Amino acid sequence: MFFVPDIIEKKKRGLKLSKDEIQFIIDGYVGGSIPDYQISALLMAIYFKGMDEEETTDLTMAMAHSGEMVDLSSIDGIKVDKHSTGGIADTTTLVLLPLASSVGIKVAKMSGRGLGHTGGTVDKLESIPGFCCELDTKTFIDSVNTIGAAITGQSKNLVPADKMLYALRDVTATVDSIPLIASSIMSKKIAGGADKIILDVKFGNGAFMKTFEDAQELGQLMVKIGELAGRETVAYITDMEQPLGLAIGNAIEVVEAIEVLKGKGHEDLLELCLEFASEMMLLAKIESDKTKAVQKLKDSIETGKALAKFKEIIGNQGGDSRVIQDYSLLPKAKYQSEVAAAEDGYVNKIDAARLGLTAMKLGAGRQKKDDIIDPAVGIWIYKKVGDKVKKGEVFAKILANDEAKLSWAVDETRKAFEFTLDSIEKRKVIWAKITKDEVLKF
């Protein structure tokens, strides 16, 4: 039997907590025998003193086992999951789900809803009329075995310890602790049942991690946790100093995903999806050569196979698959306004966080968990860093259902773009790849 103040004192002094002590804390907190104020003290001690890799792994596993553990063993093949730490216009999963499935990868995807300025995959897909992301376990697994892919919202019983700890971290200023971030992310991935994991760790203005160095530290820790937990894990460090794609919203991100699958999407979003999907092919042992994997994926897009798979996924989950060809079936905003350049020049910077917050306040995201999403609103951007603009050329478009917010959003969007007369180099999307053996910088 442990005494909670002794554990708090131990961590306050910077000493290592044992596996049994960590398990005692998680069991007690979830079970209701340890109160918020003691966990708050421990979180603050962890914030200042940190945790080593073994401690963080023990915390991750204790959290993962605090509720339901998803068993995907009845799905044929190696299951590979991908997780993003969150960003703006991050439409990757909507493209990756059908693209990876179209080349034979079994994709059993559990995703969350959006909170704050980063969007949720479930919210985006539910903008498709009829699309259902609330699948029971049998339907979820049967769908993956039958058509190769399915996506469902996270079970309420999945990692309850994380939900409780995150809510407490949010009100005790302990959110930005790398061991606590790593254990939060990895506990959900491990409980989700995937055999292998790809992590998209974003950094920059529109991401939680602001610097490459912090993102690399987080990525390396999560790869180590995955290794210690018996799950091969690969992390990518990717750019979020500007939006990834061109659409910031819900219905419009579905449109952008479809455009990428038609071979017409923005090169940045396509590049990232090809990288992740080809890595998934290697991890799933579907292909052993990266170049060949990429070519198979490109062929799947060019032949329409990937797009057909998205149509099949939509139909299988009750959605109106006609949206693939008819975007008018998606929710439409009442008002729209274009934002044009005042003079010739080049895009120097884009404040991704400002655009994300603007879209959220239009209704595309949630400020509180119980806020209702407006699937129709959002922001299209037509230029990215390094792109040339001419005077009078439209570089963004606002979609709104509140006329009063429309002009405000136009002003905010204009302020988010910085222009220069000098030509600017375009930003790279992928900065590094982290495996258990090395950090490969791009």
Q: Which of 10, 169, 196, 224 is catalytic?
A: 169
Instruction: Please provide residue 398's backbone torsions phi and psi, each rounded to the nearest 5 degrees.
Output: -100, 135
Residues 225 and 259: beta-carbon distance below 8 Å:
no
Is 83 annotated in the active site? yes
Residues 267 and 274: beta-carbon distance below 8 Å:
no
Say if strands 247-249 and 378-381 run parallel, antiparallel, or are unpaired: antiparallel
Is 155 annotated in the active site? no
Say which residue the tokens 């554990």 belong to.
Answer: 7
Listed in sequence order, the residues at least 6 apart from 250 whose beta carbon sits closer than 8 Å to its beta carbon are 119, 123, 124, 126, 127, 331, 364, 373, 374, 375, 376, 378
3-class secondary structure, 434: strand
Is 427 annotated in the active site? no
Q: Which of 10, 11, 188, 309 is catalytic?
A: 188
Total residue length of the chain: 442
Is 124 annotated in the active site? no
Q: Which of 58, 90, 123, 162 is catalytic?
A: 162
DSSP 208-258: SB-SHHHHHHHHHHHHHHHHHTT-EEEEEEEE-SS-SSSEEESHHHHHHHH
Q: Which of 66, 111, 177, 184 is catalytic?
A: 184
**Nearest Cα to Cα of residue 100 among 311, 316, 296, 303:** 296
**What six digits make up the tokens of 282?**
């290697």
Residues 275 and 431: beta-carbon distance below 8 Å:
no
Residues 133 and 125: beta-carbon distance below 8 Å:
yes
The secondary structure element, H or E, covering residue 84 is strand 80-84
Query: Residue 48, Cβ neighbours under 10 Å: how many?
Result: 11
Listed in sequence order, the residues at least 6 apart from 63 whose beta carbon sits closer than 8 Å to its beta carbon are 26, 159, 161, 162, 165, 183, 184, 187
> Which amino acid does the sequence have at 93?
T
Query: Residue 397, Cβ neighbours under 10 Å: how many?
Result: 17
Q: Which of 11, 83, 163, 224 is catalytic?
A: 83
CA distance 277 to 133: 22
Give the up-direction half-sphere exposure of residue 41: CA atoms within 13 A in the CB hemisphere: 15
Is 65 annotated in the active site? no
Q: What is the largest CA-CA distance in the chain?
A: 72
Residues 376 and 333: beta-carbon distance below 8 Å:
yes
**What six digits make up the tokens of 254?**
């579905």
Q: Could you give the residue numbers annotated as active site?
A: 83, 162, 169, 184, 188
